[in-house]
């Protein structure tokens, strides 16, 4: 039986980054993957969604060219072509990852990996005699899949997940009901709206993106409404049924029972760790609910078996998975962890973008820190006016006593790039005055950060 220093089950960002880092430490590594290398992020998540959003936003922008006498008219957007383009991008990225793995002599095994006793991984590739390999160390990185809540009728045939959409199982639809106004719900609502599908979001909590700053969720709802996307908050979905080739969703909100119809329903209520088929009978690591339980060094309750990424992490993000992978490989190699995992920026690719890092004043208070928020609305920011962007703002938080930056919330164009300035500031413990002392280029979206910092300085002085 072939033996490696590290055998990794799962070839998504957690798995392939762990393989690459292990190889960099001089360890022999094997990667077991049953679908495509690149996992959810490359094949059914971040990359295809962002490709769809990029192109659908260009389509929406083209319609604004009327004001210059440029007439654009499309009877129907070719959604299959949009998906084919997103798949092309994903294929390119997959190819690059596979080349990198090959150049580092990492063996790739195609098939479902199942952990047996004694660190043996059995790979089921549909052959009669499955291959077995052994790892001195095992890293489990099997990821997560869309959750389907136990709503009566969820299996009526009209309910899709983000996997179904991004894998092109259904491309054309005139109307869509999205259950869940979280990150996937709002990003795909923007895409479908841009290509001409009528969208209604049903969110169970009191606002869209309930995991984020209240103002962000309310702003998204207002912008969506202007663009024609309906969203209902505090909506409890009670049933789904198929009727005359459509989905009928019943829900209650504000003590009223209501019903809406659409061609399809997208269920976007979160993702659950994928543990099915991962463990042989008798191999059962301790669990934290549906997540595999790990300690600070990613060690499961099974000695020499580690778990990283969406299978074990509290935060399901690509950059968290990749950071854990680099740190886990370092733990196995007996080296210092290279990445500080304490501060995780998060981004949502709506239009305008949203990006957050660190704490706001409310979260700081809950942690026993007296803090102050400062804010700038980008009404008079030149770039925002040029691009006719919807209501945008930058909010920055600092500790009252030390005036050090604790976090930032951005809802503006390029927020996903600008946020790193604030991640760095929190890491380095920079004060508001230090942040104000540097010159920012004009005209940029980012220069509005200085307005927010000046507002913050004034509030700290009060």
Q: State whether the Cα torsion 178-182-185-189 is positive or negative.
A: positive
Minimum CB distance to ligand NAD, residue 348 (Å): 5
Whether the Cβ atoms of residue 267 and residue 154 lie closer than 8 Å to each other: yes
Tell me how far apart the alpha carbons of residues 94 and 90 are, in angstroms, rounded to a whole number. 6
Which of 112, 143, 204, 285 is close enough to bind ligand NAD by CB under 6 A?
204
* Per-position x/- string for 166-185, each x denoting binding to ligand NAD as judged by CB under 6 A, each - no binding: -------------xxxxxxx
Looking at beta carbons only, is 187 or 213 nearer to ligand NAD?
187
Tell me how far apart the alpha carbons of residues 328 and 322 are, in angstroms, rounded to a whole number. 10
What is the Cβ-side half-sphere exposure of residue 212, based on CA atoms within 13 angstroms?
Answer: 25
Tell me how far apart the alpha carbons of residues 263 and 174 are, in angstroms, rounded to a whole number. 7
Closest listed residue to residue 107, CA positions, set 8, 35, 21, 41: 8
Longest dimension (CA), the chain: 75
Q: Two tokens at 386?
A: 């040029």
Minimum CB distance to ligand NAD, residue 16 (Å): 18
Minimum CB distance to ligand NAD, residue 347 (Å): 5
What are phi and psi for residue 257, nearest 5 degrees? Answer: -95, 125
Closest listed residue to residue 312, CA positions, set 298, 325, 328: 298
Minimum CB distance to ligand NAD, residue 119 (Å): 30
Which residues inside 216-235 make contact with ligand NAD, applying CB under 6 A?
235
Looking at beta carbons only, is 202 or 376 nearer to ligand NAD?
202
Whether the bond into 368 is cis, omega within 30 of 0: no
Looking at beta carbons only, is 28 or 416 nearer to ligand NAD?
416
Minimum CB distance to ligand NAD, residue 85 (Å): 19
Looking at beta carbons only, is 109 or 349 nearer to ligand NAD?
349
Which of 31, 115, 247, 348 is close enough to bind ligand NAD by CB under 6 A?
348
Whether the bond into 122 is cis, omega within 30 of 0: no
Looking at beta carbons only, is 314 or 462 nearer to ligand NAD?
314
Tell me how far apart the alpha carbons of residues 340 and 427 are, in angstroms, rounded to a whole number. 9
Helical segments of 178-213, H only: 183-194
Minimum CB distance to ligand NAD, residue 13 (Å): 12
Closest listed residue to residue 329, CA positions, set 15, 12, 21: 21
Tell me how far apart the alpha carbons of residues 67 and 243 are, in angstroms, rounded to a whole number. 42
Q: Which residues, 6 or more positions from 271, have their beta carbon under 8 angstroms from its beta carbon?
A: 144, 145, 146, 147, 310, 316
The one segment of 256-264, 268-276, 387-395, 431-439 that binds ligand NAD by CB under 6 A: 268-276
Which residues inside 136-155 make contact with ligand NAD, applying CB under 6 A?
149
237 binds ligand NAD (CB under 6 A): yes
Residue nearest to ligand NAD (CB): 182
Residues forming a β-bridge with 307: 140
Looking at beta carbons only, is 130 or 168 nearer to ligand NAD?
168
Tell me how far apart the alpha carbons of residues 298 and 52 are, in angstroms, rounded to a whole number. 34
Minimum CB distance to ligand NAD, residue 332 (Å): 26
Which residues inside 240-259 make contact with ligand NAD, applying CB under 6 A?
none
* Per-position x/- string for 85-124, each x denoting binding to ligand NAD as judged by CB under 6 A, each - no binding: ----------------------------------------
Minimum CB distance to ligand NAD, residue 248 (Å): 16
Indicate which residues carry an active-site annotation.
442
Q: Two tokens at 130?
A: 């499955």
* Per-position x/- string for 269-298, each x denoting binding to ligand NAD as judged by CB under 6 A, each - no binding: xxx---------------------------
Which of 37, 106, 114, 317 is close enough to bind ligand NAD by CB under 6 A?
317
268 binds ligand NAD (CB under 6 A): yes
Whether the Cβ atoms of residue 378 and residue 389 lie closer than 8 Å to each other: yes
Tell me how far apart the alpha carbons of residues 185 and 147 are, in angstroms, rounded to a whole number. 13
Looking at beta carbons only, is 196 or 345 nearer to ligand NAD?
345
Which of 6, 138, 189, 202 is close enough to bind ligand NAD by CB under 6 A?
202
The one segment of 85-93, 216-224, 262-270, 399-407 that binds ligand NAD by CB under 6 A: 262-270
Closest listed residue to residue 85, CA positions, set 164, 168, 10: 168
Query: Can you give the binding site for ligand NAD, defined by CB under 6 A?
Result: 149, 179-185, 187, 202-205, 210, 235, 237, 268-271, 316-317, 346-349
């Amino acid at each position: 039986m072939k033996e490696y220093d590290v055998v990794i089950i799962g070839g998504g960002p957690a798995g392939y980054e762990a393989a690459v880092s292990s190889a960099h430490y001089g360890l022999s590594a094997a990667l077991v993957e049953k679908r495509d290398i690149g996992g959810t992020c490359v094949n059914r998540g971040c990359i295809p969604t962002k490709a769809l959003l990029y192109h659908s936003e260009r389509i929406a922008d083209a319609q604004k060219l009327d004001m210059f006498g440029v007439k654009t008219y499309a009877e129907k957007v070719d959604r299959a072509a949009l998906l084919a383009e997103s798949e092309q991008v994903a294929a390119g990225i997959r190819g690059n990852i596979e080349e990198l793995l090959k150049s580092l002599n990492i063996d790739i095994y195609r098939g479902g990996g199942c952990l047996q006793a004694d660190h043996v991984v059995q790979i089921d590739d549909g052959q009669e005699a499955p291959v077995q390999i052994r790892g001195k160390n095992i890293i489990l990185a099997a990821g997560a899949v869309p959750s389907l809540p136990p709503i009566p009728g969820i299996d009526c045939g009209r309910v899709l997940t983000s996997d179904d959409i991004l894998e092109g199982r259904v491309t054309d639809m005139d109307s869509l009901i999205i259950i869940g106004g979280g990150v996937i719900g709002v990003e795909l609502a923007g895409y479908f709206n841009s290509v001409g599908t009528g969208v209604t979001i049903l969110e169970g909590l009191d606002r869209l993106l309930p995991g984020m700053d209240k103002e962000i969720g309310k702003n998204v709802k207002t912008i969506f409404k202007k663009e024609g996307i309906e969203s209902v908050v505090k909506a409890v979905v009670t049933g789904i049924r198929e009727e005359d080739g459509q989905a009928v969703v019943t829900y209650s909100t504000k003590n009223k029972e209501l019903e809406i119809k659409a061609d399809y329903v997208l269920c976007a209520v979160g993702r659950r760790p994928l543990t099915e088929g991962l463990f042989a009978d008798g191999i059962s690591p301790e669990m934290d609910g549906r997540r595999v339980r790990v300690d600070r060094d990613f060690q499961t309750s099974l000695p020499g078996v580690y778990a990283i990424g969406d299978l074990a992490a509290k935060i399901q993000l690509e950059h968290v998975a990749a950071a854990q992978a680099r740190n886990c490989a370092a733990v196995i190699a007996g080296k210092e962890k290279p990445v500080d995992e304490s501060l995780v920026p998060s981004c949502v690719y709506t239009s305008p973008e949203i990006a957050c890092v660190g704490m706001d004043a409310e979260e700081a208070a809950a942690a026993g820190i007296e803090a102050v928020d400062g804010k700038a609305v980008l009404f008079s920011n030149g770039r925002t006016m040029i691009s006719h962007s919807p209501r945008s703002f930058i909010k920055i938080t600092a500790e009252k006593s030390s005036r050090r930056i604790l976090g930032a919330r951005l809802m503006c164009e390029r927020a996903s790039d600008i946020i790193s300035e604030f991640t760095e500031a929190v890491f380095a413990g920079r004060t508001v005055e230090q942040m104000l002392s540097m010159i920012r280029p004009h005209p940029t979206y980012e220069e509005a950060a200085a307005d927010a910092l000046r507002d913050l300085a004034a509030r700290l002085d009060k």
